[in-house]
Chain A
Amino acid sequence: MNDKARARQASRWLSAQARAVRGPLTAAIGGHAVAGILLIPQAFILARLIDAVAFGHRPAASELGLTGGLLVVFVARALAAVVGAAAADRTGLLVQGRVRRRLLAQVPALGPLWIAARQPGALANTLVDGVKALHAYYADYLPQAALSVIVPGAILAAVFPVDWISGLVFACTAALIPVFMVLLGQGAAAMNQRQWRGMARLSAHFFEVLAGLPVLQAFGVGHAEEKVVTKLSEDYRRSTMRVLRVAFLSSFALEFLSMLSIAMVAVLVGFRLFWGDIGFTAGLAVLLLAPEFYQPLRKLGDAYHARLAAVAAAEDIADIMAEPIATGRGRRGLRPDGAFTVVFEDVTYRYPGASRDALRSVTLRVAPQEHVALIGATGAGKSTLMNLLLGFMPVTAGQIIVAGQRLDELQPEAWRQTLAWVPQRAHLFAGSVADNIALGLHDCPRAAIVAAAERAQARAFIEALPQGFDALVGEGGAGLSGGEVQRIALARAFLRDAPLVILDEPTASLDVESESAVVAALEQLRRGRTMISIAHRLHTVRAADRVIVLEEGRVVDRYSPQQAVVRDTAGWAPPRGAS
């Protein structure tokens, strides 16, 4: 999708959201409109009071009624402003809450692979900052867009009967403003948006240079980069100023027209007063209203950045909401008693948008309590096979049969309860060690958690932590080594006591000592369970009952572990190592 189409989709999405908050949005516009329209009686009363003193030569005290009226108008305007602003804020907050809730439901439903393909940090930014950027669009921009029609319209309607010539001046300039704004504004908006991106790029580059300083230093070119920073900053300034000189023209046009019309109204009113065509009160009221006529448009200009930011955010949000949810339609339950058979029948998988199959007609039967190791170069299909089995994505063709049932007909939750998964780098969540071991299990007795940790060879180091099983880990928590994290993940698997364990080389990132502890724990774990593991390490292969070699999406060989170890020296991997 090109930029324009995305921006259009974003605009449509923004309008669609407005429908859900029509009530508060109307209240916001109504409140502000009342405050704006009350400027008309305010101007007339004030003009009348000045007339009374300046030309009527009456003391201020003789006009107590009107004075009171003027103060009432001010109070009413303040109250209307409160109503309007409160409703506007409510609108913005409602949209924020609603959109964020929908995103929070949508994103996890899109599945772990969809999320993994994006940066979690960038996604979180869209859901937090992006959604917040919508606020000003609904709370400021939309109400202001309505007000910039309503309030000038009301002033025009009030001015015409008392002084049609000034009314005509207002009407003519008001008609010219949109023309100027469109002529200058559109080009400026496009340039403006590009410039915002330019700013983002400049910041990104600056960040990159700072983050990449160790590399620049290692190659001894730290000083040279200073010239690049200077040049980029100066280029950015020049191009920005080129854009701003044009972009400011639209506010220049608005300012020019409003000032021109105020000057014209002042001079024309002066002459008509001189000739006695209109009364002083009317003339003064018109002059008081002249700056107010253009005020809403000026505020709309100020709120324009809110619109740009909201459109940019809406582009990302609309993209996410438009993603189709693919997995997990099955309804059947699953109650296996103990380990069960896993069968891949002619399983083919092609990633969306890919030109060739990642898995091609893979047929594989894993017996109950068997331990199968998958080996092969990166991209050979090991992870694809594992992700299919985990139910993270549906097969393109063929079928996976578990405990005699088709996987795609099973309820995802039911299936996941029968398996445990230990990835290469397990994730610890903010919370205690015990919480992390009992992840997803409610009211798990402490004894069971300790027992699971014991079997995962994790009890000793956990108890050595200052708060033992209650020690906080994860973001801002105690630092654990890679091997310790993996053993906590293994403890999870022990505690769940699932009949099928899926492993993605859990020792891949560990050093020797940590590795041997994890290997010992794995030896425990496999007892009585079916195990399917992706192997990068020799000991994983040695521990397996059977080794399956994948190459370019096919099963090319099945060995006993002894054969695999022997063949390793000859080189089982594809001729040219693709990583």
Chain B
Amino acid sequence: MKDLFRLLRLGHSARGRFALGAALALVVVLANVALLGLAGWFIAAMAAAGLIGASMNYFTPSAGIRAFALMRTVGRYAERVVNHDATLRLLSRLRVWVYARVQPLAPAVLGHYRKGDVLTRLVANVDALDNAWLRIFSPVIVAACSAAAVLAFLAFHSPAVAWVDLVLLACVGVLLPVAAQRMGRRHAERAASVEGEVKAALTEELAGIGELTICGGLPAVAARVERASDDWLREQRAGLSLETAAAALTVLVSGVAITLTWWFAAPGVLSGAMSPLVLPLLVFVVLASVEGVQGLPAAFRVLDDTLAAARRVFALADEQPAVTERVSPLREVQSSALRFEAVGFRYPGGARDAVADLTLDLPAGAAIALVGASGAGKSSIARLAMRFHDPQRGTVTLGGRPVVDYALEPLRRQFAWAGQSTRLFSTTIRENLRLAAPQADDERLWAALEATCLADEVRCFDAHLDHFVGAGGMALSAGQARRLCLARAWLSPAPILLLDEATEGLDPRAARAIVERFVDGRGHRSLLWVTHQALGLDRMDEVLVMDAGRVVARGSHQELLQRSGFYRDMASRIL
């Protein structure tokens, strides 16, 4: 619950709207109670007046009936608008807040969350929190207030009827839904886990369909999917039966309560303690009072999930970033000379050092390649340079100052980066490129596309630079996405080109052309080239061969060909 209140506090600025929304929702329920109660009293009064031929002031009650009808209608509309607006404001605030909290966690801390679908779940969890106000807080407030008002009114006329109504509201609003949920929890949990099983088995069948088709293993996997699917339906059925039983019991309990209302009110009418006109009024009020607690079953249903969603969102948002800026950090970088001095680094929880005792000097304008098998620690060097992590030993300096002295964003803007993943944003080619240089004009964008042999292909798209790259770049081929990432780095005005396995999976010919372009056409920029492909190494000022976090050989391409067998092997294996 603490998390839900914390969530509401985030929506602090909309608290006037929340209060108004709850008040309006209460008006809607009470207007209905008043309307029906008054109508019952009115027709009884009119009938009584008709019987004895008395005159009667029918203006006031009939005006009251119309007023309550209007109040309910307008109130309902206003309540829905106000409550939805408040909810959307809360969600909007929450999204921005979560982003601001999660942003410094990337990529170091967020890396742990990449596994599985934690991010998908985070987004779904944020979306699920719209329940917090609309389906939990607001209905609970309305139920409590309307029940209090109705019960007070009933108790004034007949304490017995008030007790009957209290039991009715408790049963319909709390006992039955809670019982159904308690009993159904096991089914709900089983259903959720079987659903996950169906999804996992199915995803596996689809992902491995080629091999299953060739090897003939399809029937066995398909049977597993069908079995899980049938189990799932069974669990769903069990859960639904409980809901049905709860609904039927609600009908029964309401019936008994109405009958008892009549039964307990009757003696009062006969003894003259209560006006006969009040009897229909009480029956109508009891009937209408149930509406006040109608939101509660749904509130109980979503409570667990919403609590869990809030817990997960806050758990991630409360993570500590791996690196923090110091107080009043430097915002200007004097020179682009990058130095690693005896740097040692181990990932949190890692079994061995990812980088051990590394010294590396990349003067402004120089070109250095880091080669080695995957897991040799090459990419960790790139991450340390951009300060995604801080090393445990030694220092990384840029322009003669330790990188920890700089503010994070100006520091990272010194690097034109292209990495192993080809993550693009679901927008146009132009916008994807401009991430690196927001002010760049089309001429510069085309030049960047030329540099990565992509311009001709982009010209083939109808919309040219405005071509939409699809969700996460899915509408481009893997090679095109890769080269677009490289073009993005090329476009960046940053003084250090940092390419981390950025030609992985490219056609060897294209990879070679791009590497040569990057090396020869880079101008004054320095280049840190992380690779396990033996491309363009002869053009580098220095090549560092890495293994298990250590530099095992360093020198020029020619020297290494003579000295290092490992290097010779690697250089000879690319087609």
Binding site for B on A (CB under 8 A): 35, 42, 46, 49-50, 53-55, 57, 59-60, 67, 70-71, 73-75, 77-79, 81-82, 85-86, 89-90, 93, 96-97, 100-101, 104, 107-108, 111-112, 115-116, 119-121, 123-125, 127-128, 135, 199, 203-223, 225-226, 229-230, 233-234, 236-237, 240-241, 244-245, 248-249, 251-252, 255-256, 259-260, 262-263, 266-267, 269-271, 273-276, 280, 283-284, 287-288, 291, 375, 377-378, 390, 392, 413, 416-417, 419-421, 423, 426-427, 429-430, 439-441, 474-475, 489, 492, 496, 511-513, 515, 535-541, 568, 571, 573-574, 576-579
Given contacts A120-B206, A426-B211, contact A536 B240 (CB under 8 A): no
* A82:B248 contact, CB within 8 angstroms: yes
The answer to the question of B353 belonging to the interface, with a C-beta cut-off of 8 Å to chain A, is no
A478 → chain B closest CB, angstroms: 15
Q: Is the CB of B65 within 8 A of A263?
A: yes
Tell me whether A511 and B373 are in contact in the complex, defined as CB-CB below 8 angstroms, given that A55-B47, A74-B255, A579-B477 are known contacts. yes
Asked if A217 contacts B126 (CB within 8 A), the reply is no
Contact present for A93 and B237 (CB under 8 Å): yes
Write out the residue numbers on chain B whose beta carbons fall within 8 Å of the beta carbon of A417. Answer: 216
Query: Taking A375-B575, A573-B509 as contacts, is the C-beta distance between A67 and B259 under 8 angstroms?
Result: yes
Which residues of B lie under 8 Å from residue A568 when comparing CB positions? 575
1/0 contact string of B118-161 vs chain A (CB within 8 Å): 01101110110000000000000000000000000000000000
Closest A-B pairs by Cβ, 5 of them: A579-B479, A74-B255, A577-B510, A213-B106, A440-B215
CA distance A77 to B247 in the complex (A): 11
CB-defined contacts of B203 to chain A, threshold 8 Å? 120-121, 124
Do B47 and A71 touch (CB < 8 A)? no
Give A415's nearest chain B residue, CB to CB.
B214
Per-residue CB contact flags for chain B residues 253-276 toward chain A (1 = under 8 Å, else 0) read 011101100110111011000001
Are B106 and A217 in contact (CB-based, < 8 A)?
yes
Chain A proximity of B32: nearest CB distance (Å)? 8
Interface centre among A50, A90, A390 (most CB of B within 10 A): A50
Show 13 residue pairs from A and B whose CB-CB distance is below 8 angstroms, ordered by the A residue.
A53-B269, A82-B248, A111-B213, A124-B206, A128-B198, A210-B123, A214-B419, A223-B409, A244-B84, A248-B80, A248-B81, A249-B77, A489-B211
Given A50-B280, A71-B256, A579-B478: A85 and B204 interface contact (C-beta under 8 Å): no
- Residues of B in contact, count (CB < 8 Å): 163
Partner of A89, one of B88, B237, B415: B237
- Which of A223, A260, A416 is within 8 Å of B216, CB to CB? A416
Q: Contact between A55 and B276 (Cβ–Cβ < 8 Å)?
A: yes
* Inter-chain pairs besides A128-B195, A244-B84, A515-B573, 16 sampled, C-beta below 8 Å: A50-B280, A104-B225, A207-B123, A213-B110, A218-B415, A218-B417, A233-B91, A237-B92, A260-B69, A283-B43, A416-B214, A427-B210, A430-B204, A512-B573, A573-B509, A579-B478
How long is the Cα–Cα vector from A93 to B230 in the complex, in angstroms? Answer: 10
Chain A residues with CB below 8 A from B212, complex form: 439-440
Q: A210-B102, A219-B492, A537-B575 are in contact. Are A73 and B255 (CB under 8 A)?
A: yes
Using Cβ atoms and an 8 Å threshold, which residues of chain B touch A229? 95-96, 99
The answer to whether B40 touches A287 (Cβ under 8 A) is yes
- Return chain A residues, CB-CB under 8 Å to B48: 55
Given contacts A77-B251, A214-B107, contact A115 B209 (CB under 8 A): yes
Given contacts A71-B255, A219-B492, contact A97 B423 (CB under 8 A): no
Chain A residues whose C-beta falls within 8 Å of the C-beta of B245 in the assembled complex: 82
Contact, CB under 8 Å: B99 / A578: no
Chain A residues with CB under 8 Å of B327's CB are none
What is the chain A residue whose CB lies nearest that of B412?
A220
- A430 to B483, alpha carbons, bound, how many Å? 35
A54 touching B241 in the complex, CB below 8 Å, given contacts A429-B208, A439-B212: no
CB <8 Å contact, B210 and A116: yes
Contact of A274 among B50, B374, B436, B510 (CB under 8 A): B50
**Residues of A close to B220: CB separation below 8 A:** 440
Complex contact B509–A211 (CB within 8 A): no
B542 contacts chain A at the CB level, 8 A cutoff:
no
Complex partner residue of B76 from A75, A245, A255, A419, CB under 8 angstroms:
A255
**Is B410 interfacial (CB 8 A cutoff)?**
yes
| Residue of B105, B412, B492 contacting most chain A CB atoms (<10 Å) | B412
Q: A85-B244, A233-B96, A579-B483 are in contact. Are A413 and B216 (CB under 8 A)?
A: yes
CA distance A259 to B202 in the complex (A): 50
How far is it, in angstroms, between the C-alpha of A475 and the C-alpha of B511 when the chains are bound?
33
Within 8 A of A (CB), among B59-106: 61-62, 65-66, 68-70, 72-73, 76-77, 80-81, 84-85, 88-89, 91-92, 95-96, 99-100, 102-106
Contacts of B51 in A (CB 8 A): 55, 276
Q: Are B270 and A57 in contact (CB under 8 A)?
A: yes
Tell me whether chain B's interface is mostly helix, strand or loop, or mixed.
helix
Given contact pairs A107-B206, A220-B411, A538 touches B572 in the complex (Cβ within 8 A):
yes
Interface residues of B in 258-310 (CB under 8 A from A): 258-259, 262-263, 265-267, 269-270, 276-277, 279-280, 283, 287
Task: Determine how close the nearest CB of chain B comes to the CB of A114; give it in whole angstroms.
Answer: 9
A343 to B59, CA, bound (A): 99
As a 0/1 sequence over residues 440 to 472 of chain B, the CB contacts with chain A under 8 angstroms (1 = contact) are 000000000000010011000000000000011
> Would A203 and B123 be within 8 Å (CB), given that A53-B269, A440-B215, A579-B478 are in contact?
yes
The B344-378 residues at the A interface (CB cut-off 8 A) are 373-375
Tell me if B9 is interfacial: C-beta within 8 Å of chain A: no
Whether B423 lies near A538 (C-beta < 8 A) is no
B229 close to A (CB within 8 Å): yes
Query: Which residues in chain B, 498-515, are within 8 Å of chain A measured between CB atoms?
Result: 505-511, 513
- List residues of chain B with CB within 8 A of the CB of A571: 509
Instruction: Looking at the assembled complex, report how far the CB atom of A547 sits from the nearest CB atom of chain B, in whole angstroms.
Output: 11
Output the least CB separation between B194 and chain A (Å): 11
A221 touches B50 (CB 8 A): no
Say yes or no for B386: interface residue by CB 8 A criterion: yes
User: Is B390 an interface residue when CB atoms closer than 8 A count as contact?
Assistant: no
B119 and A210 contact, CB distance less than 8 A: yes
Which of chain B's residues have a CB closer than 8 A to the CB of A274? 46-47, 49-50, 56, 58
Contacts of B408 in A (CB 8 A): 217, 220
Q: How far is the CB of A470 from chain B (nearest CB, A)?
A: 18
In the complex the two chains form, what is the Cα distance from A73 to B350 in whole Å? 70
Contacts of B202 in A (CB 8 A): 104, 123-124, 127-128
CA distance A421 to B210 in the complex (A): 9
* Contact B478–A222 (Cβ < 8 Å): no
Residues of A within 8 A of B251 (CB): 35, 74, 77-78, 81
* B315 cross-chain contacts in A, Cβ below 8 A: none
Chain A min CB distance to B512 (Å): 8
B386 contacts which chain A residues (CB < 8 A)? 217-218
Scan B36-47; emit 1 where CB is below 8 A from any A CB, else 0. Answer: 100110111111
Q: Give the one of B102, B211, B386 with max A CB within 10 A.
A: B211
Residues of chain A contacted by B56 (CB below 8 angstroms): 274
Per a CB cutoff under 8 Å, which of B73, B410, B411, B511 touches A255? B73
Partner of A537, one of B89, B124, B574: B574
Is A535's CB under 8 angstroms from B575's CB?
yes
Q: Which residues of B contact A89 (CB under 8 A)?
A: 237, 240-241, 244
A240 to B209, CA, bound (A): 41
Q: A77-B255, A416-B213 are in contact. Are A104 and B226 (CB under 8 A)?
A: yes
| B480 within 8 Å of A (CB atoms) | yes
Q: How far is the CB of B229 from chain A (nearest CB, A)?
A: 6
Asked if residues A85 and B247 are in contact (CB atoms below 8 Å), the reply is: yes
Q: In the assembly, what is the distance between CA of A215 and CA of B458, in Å?
A: 22
Q: Report whether B217 and A578 are in contact in the complex, using a CB–CB cutoff of 8 Å.
A: no
Once bound together, how far apart are the Cα atoms of A60 and B283, in whole Å?
14
| Interchain nearest-CB distance for B370 vs A (Å) | 14
> Nearest-CB distance from B180 to chain A (Å)?
13
- Residues of B close to A426: CB separation below 8 A: 211
Pick the contact of B262: A46, A81, A213, A260 (CB < 8 A).
A46
Does any Cβ of A come within 8 Å of B200's Cβ?
yes
Q: B482 at interface (Cβ–Cβ under 8 A)? A: yes
